[in-house]
Amino acid sequence: MLISIIQPCFIPWLGYFEQMAVADLFVYMDDVKYSRQNWRNNNRLLCQSVPKNISIPVQKTNKYSLINQVLISNNRDWRKEFLNKVMNWYRRAPYFEEIFDLISNVVLENHDKLVCLNYKLNSAIALYLGIKTPIKLTSMVPRSSNDKVTRIIEIVKYFNADVLYDGKSAANFIDKKVFIDSGITVIFQDYKHTPYRQNFSESFVPYMSVLDLLMNEGPSSLDIILSSPLPGELVALKK
């Protein structure tokens, strides 16, 4: 069984959903330390071809706070601010109405925790895309070690998986041999962006939130997400 393990992100990029679509099981790593100003509560959208940051405010955290403990800050009406930005930047996009309804229904719910908002948003997007991969949380897995690599192996084995499809950056700390010795094959993602239409953009701007793709391509979005060639090792396993 092929598993992907990744931290829950806010309206993440296309490669995130490629991992979700390809995996047999997608697991949110929600019980690791939270670091501020990252993809957990931030992402990028286009405003007249210029990438703009968009974020969800969170309450003050400390260096020990875990992702699943982070609370959304309601000191200001962030929901209205967020939805107004999306409306102003994408109201002329071909699929604005259906995608705006999709995300606003989730955003306007009363979520206290950031992880809950991200889970609901990403699940709604996955449902729209037609991705049916089951989703679990690492917080349900008993922990025997705080070592990063040992913990990942522990999670993979808990779910009876034998192939880990991980992000490219994980190659910086994962030693494949350690995993092979534990009976686990590791394959690193090498996502190649396929250009798609972007309103007001003369040249393609990659690495935007999946929301940018959905607004512009609607029902064709999953085909575009999956148009990046899979790593050869993964293709061989899928045969």
Tens of pLDDT, residues 96-143: 999 999 999 999 999 999 999 999 999 999 999 999 999 999 999 999
Tens of pLDDT, residues 9-65: 999 999 999 999 999 999 999 999 998 778 999 999 999 889 999 999 999 999 899
Q: How confident is the model at residue 172 (pLDDT cuts 50, 70, 90)?
A: confident
Q: 108: closest CA among 88, 75, 81, 127?
A: 81
Residue 202 has a pLDDT of 82
1 vs 22: CA distance, rounded Å: 11
Q: 179: closest CA among 144, 209, 154, 145?
A: 154
Supply the pTM of this predicted model: 0.95
Domain ranges (residues) in the chain: 2-238
Residue 199 has a pLDDT of 84
| Weakest-pLDDT range from 7-21, 84-98, 190-204 | 190-204
Residue 48 has a pLDDT of 87
**Mode of pairing for the β-strands spanning 42-47 and 50-55:** antiparallel
3-state secondary structure string, 113-125? EHHHHHHHHHHHH
Residue 145 has a pLDDT of 87
CB 149 within 8 A of CB 131: no
Average pLDDT of the residues in 177-193: 94
Residue 46 has a pLDDT of 96
Residue 171 has a pLDDT of 79
CA 28 centroid distance within chain: 9
42 vs 12: CA distance, rounded Å: 9
> Which of residues 9 and 202 earns the better pLDDT score?
9
Task: Spell out the alpha helix ranges (H) of 77-113.
Answer: 78-90, 96-107
- Within 8 A by CB and 6+ apart from 177, the residues are none
CB 185 within 8 A of CB 233: yes
Q: How confident is the model at residue 170 (pLDDT cuts 50, 70, 90)?
A: confident
- CA 209 → CA 10, 42, 134, 153, 177, distances in Å? 9, 10, 22, 29, 34
Residue 200 has pLDDT above 90, yes or no: no
